[in-house]
Amino acid sequence: MGNVKREVGDPTKTSPVASLISIAVSGALTAWFVWSCGWAVNRSFAVSVDTLVQPAFPALPREFCVGIHWVFTFVAVCGCIAILISSVPILGNRTIFVVGSKMMTVVTVYQCLLRLLAMGLNLSELAPRIALILALKAAPRFSKIPQGPSLFLTWFVSVRPWTFPAALAPLLVTAATVEWLGLKLADSAHVTELIFSLIAVQASANQINSIADLWNGVDNVHNATDRSIVDGHLSMRTMVISAGVLFGTFATLLIRSGMSVPPEYRTSLTVLATVGGLAAFIYTAGPCPFKYIGLGDILIFLTFGPMTTYYFLLCLTDPAESTPLFREVFSFTLPILLLVVAILNSNNIRDMKEDKEAGVNTLAAMMGPKLSRVYFAALQLAPHFVTAWLIQTYDCPGLVLTFLVIPRSMWQIVLKGPERKFVVKETSDTVLMYGLTTAMGLACSPRGQPINVVGSAVSMAVLALLYAVLQ
């Protein structure tokens, strides 16, 4: 029997007709999902919380209901973006489609649960959403989207999303502290704008740092932790444009936030935003990068600490009421701030050898291996002592929940060998866990009121889930 030569198609490519079908399917799924979330109805976030989430979970504090619904709304938006991007050639791929469909499935299950608990067994509400769940589960099996390289995934990795808790956790703790102190917080739309502005400036700073380290010879093809440029996935020009667009997004959202700040405080807001934006640049760029002369830790402490706390108070509250309480608010954010500095320190310990070879004198490099590990341990443990003082001073027993993070802190302190290369991400995860437990602890023990037992139980369940997921 003769050999038969077969034409084997490229699995990373698809026909124009199949691409159009994939785009149509993605659009149809997104439209169905948008309807299932109730976004087609002109209903505000607060109304959704009051009419669906709070009736579904009446035993939980309202702050919990707001937080739960915001998280699922954020996941829903990410799912829509992923599904729509996935079918675009070069930009998306099959992996993004699968992730997006899973996000949509989780949110749709949540929507079904809300309606079941709040409205009872209403088939007209549940049946279309159950059908959507089945469609989302089947969609990846029938999708013709190829599994090729994705420019979006490459870009997403380049912004280092695992570092975002460093920017978001202080905001979460500040918002929870403001409410615990009895001050009025801005509406959810305003808070969301602030969240996205922080994500944008953090992502921009991360890309600027990658560019500067490559430009200054600190990183190269052999030792760079961000492989986007050195492996040829993104050009230096593309990375610079991306960092500029992200910073521009931050500036735009900042201007929108500033419009709601009283005129007498806008100068302070402008100064804080300018210095904060400059800090993203001078950490590794400019004529005298702070990281290279051992001042990176101080810069991060000041930027993410008192400056950011005051910035949040100006944007999230009535400054006339909140700024006199700056000391109290900063006291509650101090533990999470120390953990944010620990992220930086863990990164510098990991890169100590390469930094020394490149002539970069980070604080960790100046201290040496032993002292820098002691410093890291202090940054991991000090927050728990500060929290113990806060519990005693301000009579807030809910903060005991943060002590459940101690085992994770201890584990990171004793990490050695190959496992230590993951300590940066793990420290970032610890910041997220500590920020969540602080916020939940404050919500569970309103000032002058007994602790909410159900809320505490839910908080422990959430933390247990995070322990299981963030291994």
Query: Would you state the pLDDT for residue 223?
Result: 66
Both 126 and 248 in one domain: the answer is: no
Higher pLDDT, 33 or 287: 33
Name the token pair of 233.
């996935």
Of 99, 114, 141, which residue constitutes the final position of a domain? 141
Query: Are residues 247 and 394 both part of a single domain?
Result: yes
Q: At what angle do helices 236-258 and 263-282 cross, to 10 degrees?
A: 160
Weakest-pLDDT range from 52-61, 85-94, 218-227: 218-227
- Which of the listed residues 141, 170, 189 is the one where a domain comes to its end? 141
Q: CATH number of the domain that 207 lies in?
A: 1.10.600
Domain assignment present for residue 37? The answer is yes
Range of the domain at 93: 16-141
Does residue 434 sit within a domain? Answer: yes
Per-residue DSSP letter, 146: -
Last residue of a domain, one of 117, 141, 165: 141
Q: Is the pLDDT of residue 306 over 70?
A: yes
Helix, strand, coil distribution of the chain in percent, nearest 5: 75, 0, 25
Using CA atoms of 40, 44, 50, 51 in order, give the dihedral in degrees to the nearest 10.
Answer: -20
**Residues 124 and 161 occupy one common structural domain:** no
Q: Per-residue pLDDT tens for 216-269?
A: 777 666 666 767 787 777 888 888 999 999 999 998 988 888 788 888 888 888
What's the domain count of the chain? 2
Q: Are residues 136 and 243 in the same domain?
A: no
Residue 78 has what pLDDT? Answer: 93
Q: 158 and 48 in one domain?
A: no
Asked if residue 10 belongs to a domain, the reply is no
pLDDT tens-digit series, residues 456-469:
999 999 999 888 88
Within a domain: 408: yes
Do 379 and 460 fall within a single domain?
Answer: yes
Residue 460 and residue 438 share a domain = yes
> Residue 2 falls within a domain, yes or no?
no
User: Does residue 170 fall inside a structural domain?
Assistant: yes
pLDDT value of position 7: 39
pLDDT of residue 283: 82
pLDDT category, 450, cuts 50, 70, 90? confident
Query: Do 279 and 425 have their domain in common?
Result: yes
Are 414 and 306 members of one domain? Answer: yes
Q: How far is 52 from 324, CA to CA, in rounded Å?
A: 36
Same domain, 443 and 466: yes
